[in-house]
Structure 1
């Protein structure tokens, strides 16, 4: 199993890995969850997949096992900034505006974590190991980028699991329905050590 953090600067070094990540997102979020998201050629993408973002991919022999996108809260692309802030501003009607219990921050030390997934093809016996690899690389990448805090939307009970594996993860808003899933905004401190 390998873990790679992709950026527009290094995509050329990793062959089809980025396209495969977007295809895995399509299988997870469009085919699996039934979300109405932009797509082309079997790949899911949106306005937050810009050169400012980074993508962490857990992969094995070209197959994507898990992934996450990291986006700086300081970035803007047209009218968009990052998903949680844009939802709070009413730009994303599919996400409740009251998702966060404080104004969405804009700071070089706060990055957003989004499009987190583990592929359905990962056997149950391997899921925890794959999740741990994803979390570990996400933390390393976020710290390298200068993040002190990550802000994200995760399934309702996942923040408790994150705490069990050493992440300082705290619910930061109400439980909400996001496309048929019960989710919650969380803050994740990059200051703690992972088990």
Structure 2
């Protein structure tokens, strides 16, 4: 199992991995979860997939097992910044409630957003924990290399059950909300303990 952090400047070095990551996202979010998201050429994408973001792929023999997108909270592209902030500002059309945070969404060079997190539904349960640990390890090291001291994420409301097991220190920064068929909550993940 390998981890690769992709950017627009290095994706040419990794063959089909970038496209395969977006294909795996389509499988996870559009096919499995039935979310209404943009797609083209069998790939899921949105307005935050810009050169400002980074994508972490957990993969094995060309098969994408899991993925994460990291976007700086200082990102700007037209009217968009990053998903959590744009939801709070009400420019996502209400798909995510505006009251998802207790305070204003940060715009800080040391804070990055973690989004589009998924694990392939094809992975047997007995391997999922190993994949989760690889995801946390890659997310933490990539974020630190990018200069982040914390991540913010909109995640499943059961995050407290498994974040600690994966070695993540986090705290809630918004209320539990019902979105589609699940309960979600915004969290802040502290990376300062991971600094070298």
TM > 0.5 = yes
Report Cα offsets for 1:48-94 as digits up to 9, x if no partner: 00000000000001111000000000010000000000000001110
Q: 1:5-48: per-residue Cα shift (whole Å, max 9, x none)?
A: 00011100000101000010001000011111010011000000
Aligned to 2:154: 153
> The residue matched to 2:51 in structure 1 has which SS?
coil
Calculate the aligned-residue CA RMSD, in Å.
Answer: 1.1
Contact kept, 8 Å, 1:167 with 1:193, in 2: the verdict is: no
The answer to whether 1:131 aligns with 2:132 is: yes
Q: Report the counterpart of residue 144 of structure 1 in structure 2.
A: 145
Distance 2:78 2:194 in 1: 37
How big is the shift at 1:166? Answer: 1.4
Give the paired residue count: 194
Q: Any gaps of 5 or more consecutive residues in structure 2?
A: none
Could you list the runs of 4 or more consecutive aligned residues of structure 1 that deviate by over 3 angstroms after TM superposition?
none
Q: Which runs of 5+ in 1 are unaligned?
A: none
Offset at residue 176 of structure 1 (A): 1.0
Partner secondary structure for residue 85 of structure 2: helix
Is 2:169 the partner of 1:168?
yes
In 1, Cα distance between the equivalents of 2:116 and 2:38? 13
Offset at residue 147 of structure 1 (A): 0.3
Q: Report Cα offsets for 1:105-139 as digits up to 9, x if no partner.
A: 00000000000011001110000000100110000
| Partner of residue 103, structure 1 | 104
Contact 1:166 1:193 in 2 (8 A): no
